[in-house]
Amino acid sequence: MVRRPKFSQASQFDQLAKSFLSSLGFELDADPDEIQGAYLQTHAIYRSERGFYLMIWFQPTDGSGAGITCGRRWDAPLNESDFDWYVLSNGYSRLAKRFGFNLPDTYQLGYGVGFDETAEAILDDLRKTLLLILQRVSLDDLLSIEGEAGGAEERVASTFGQDYIRKMEISEFRDESGNS
């Protein structure tokens, strides 16, 4: 059973960011009101025409944080998994670092930092970096961050085992020159 809050933090973020992200060619790719897991995590997932995914997640309990992941989408085949499982290439901060930006891996949420402040910090970081990153990111950049600590390869191997990587369904990404 999918639980849906009346207006989740991810939905609130989508309302703040929709105009900016759509101006860069992103469309919402999943329902931001759907709660993921036991810790009430919600996320807004966006996809560009070139196949670049961006996920902004909010976890108000447990770690009380928020963050951005990005890249290609890695899906576990439904006939191989008991649940709908996917991961993106890695944290947005990993990709941003390749282009000279120093962004946090996660954003504080709670413990004196409210949702509005957290959402604005995330959106400000995206406004400062995303256009340049989209213009420069290549498949080689995504392949590189997928193999780094916390990347898709590590997450898939730790969840399903090393041999499982070859069974993953990985979305297509095209760089600016059309290479995929």
Res 1: pLDDT: 43
Burial of 57 (0-12, 13-18, 19+ CB in 10 A): buried
Q: What's the mean per-residue pLDDT of the chain?
A: 88
Helix axes 115-136, 9-23, angle to 10 degrees: 30
One digit per residue, the tens of pLDDT, for the chain of length 180 reads 455 555 689 999 999 999 999 999 999 998 888 877 766 788 999 999 999 999 999 987 777 889 999 999 998 876 555 557 889 999 999 999 999 999 999 998 877 778 899 999 999 999 999 999 999 999 999 999 999 999 999 999 988 887 877 778 899 999 877 777
* pTM for the whole structure: 0.89
Instruction: Give the closest residue to 76 by CA, choosing from 167, 159, 172, 145.
Output: 167
For the chain, the structural domain boundaries read 9-170
Instruction: Give the closest residue to 127 by CA, choosing from 94, 87, 89, 96.
Output: 96
Distance in angstroms (rounded) separating the CA atoms of residues 95 and 6: 33
Query: For residues 90 and 70, is the Cβ–Cβ distance under 8 A?
Result: yes
State the DSSP H helix or E strand holding residue 45, giving kind and residue range, or none if neither. strand 42-48
